[in-house]
Amino acid sequence: MAKLNGFSLPLSPEGKANLLPAPPWHYSGDMLVVEYRTNPDAVIALLPDELEPADDPGAVSIIFADWQSCTDGGRELLDPYHSQYKEAMVFVGAKHQGKPVCRCVYIWVDKDFAMLRGWVQGFPKKHGDVWMTRPVTVGKAGPRLAPGGSFGGTLSVGGRRLAEARVTLTGLSANGPTVNAPPLYNSRHFPSWDSLQPAVYELVNVSGVDKEVSPIWEGTAELALFDSPFEELNALEPQEMLGGYYHSFGYTLHGGKVIEQHKL
């Protein structure tokens, strides 16, 4: 690789063309979080053999996020097509060798660089159209970050609505969300070209540094999931709502750790 440069394809002489430059990757985003319980069997059916069910095995977190991200130097920030994206992510709990972990089982995003960056971390990203209400500080066209403020989140894929969430704030939260609690254990997976067995399939830990969190607002939550012939999201339909949250979050990723190879 003397002549060709880049952290990802396309490799190129100057290394400028790669879809995904090397870490560190810096993230700052706003999160609309809905936590609820579904049928535990539906969560357990999404765990690989190496993971056991969580103590609260039906707990699910769906997060709508509006992100900015950049590499060192931050040149993407001034050409914001290359730094901004929205996504909807579904987390569940599990255990690895008896220790609690969380795991992203589904995630949809609206930019290509974020999709590949997700695959590198074991986030199973597909393209989706994500919208979430923004809090405002002036005017009448938006909720305030204050009791009574109502926030909506929607996810659609291919012109089909998959999820609609609503959170109405009640006050500042003492503890914040609980389902999506580190450590995060995702599964990296990349198909082979000469076999139906994957070329890469490994359990990994994704762990950021320099984390910053804004004050966290909490409230009541509603969630509706819809069917699609190309998805299985609505197998996780809500049975009991746990709550909703709105907050901002920043962190940095420097790469991570492979925990073990998945048995095939």
Contact 63, 216 (CB under 8 A): no
How would you class 190 by CB atoms within 10 Å of its CB: exposed for 0-12, middle for 13-18, buried for 19 or more? exposed
The nearest distance, CB 180 to a second copy, in angstroms, is 17
Helix and strand element counts for the chain (H, E): 2, 14
Cβ 158 to a second copy shortest distance, Å: 4
Pairing relation of β-strands 125-127 and 99-109? parallel
131-75-182 Cα angle (round to 5): 55
CB of 179 to a second copy, least distance (A): 18
By CB under 8 A, is residue 13 in contact with a second copy?
yes
**Choice from 37, 96, 103, 166 touching a second copy (CB under 8 A):** 166
Q: Is 236 in the site for a second copy (CB under 8 A)?
A: no
The reply to whether 26 sits near a second copy by the rule CB under 8 A is yes
Binding positions for a second copy, 27-86, rule CB under 8 A: 27-29, 45-49, 67-70, 74-75, 77-84
Stretch that binds a second copy, among 54-62, 93-101, 108-116, 174-182 (CB under 8 A): 108-116
Residue 207 CB burial class (10 angstroms; 0-12, 13-18, ≥19) = middle
- Shortest separation between residue 249's beta carbon and a second copy, angstroms: 6
Site membership for a second copy, residue 209 (CB under 8 A): no
Instruction: Provide the CA 155 distance to its chain's centre, in angstroms.
Output: 13
Cβ distance to a second copy smaller for residue 17 or 97:
17
**DSSP structure string for 135-198:** P-SSSSSS--SSTT-EEEEEEEETTEEEEEEEEEEEEE-SS---SSPSPEEEEEEE--SSSSS-
- The interface mask with a second copy, positions 169-208, x = CB under 8 A, is ------------------xxxxx-xxxx--xxxx-x----
Does 230 interact with a second copy (rule: CB under 8 A)? yes
Question: What gap in Å lies between CA 234 and CA 113, rounded to an integer?
Answer: 27
Q: How far is the CB of 172 from a second copy (least distance, A)?
A: 15
Region near a second copy per CB under 8 A, out of 10-18, 93-101, 177-185, 238-246:
10-18
Nearer to a second copy, 47 or 54 (CB): 47
Q: For the window 131-160, what string marks contact with a second copy as x by the rule CB under 8 A?
A: xxxx-xxxxxxxx------xxxxxxx-xxx
* Burial of 228: CB neighbours in 10 Å, binned 0-12, 13-18, 19+: middle
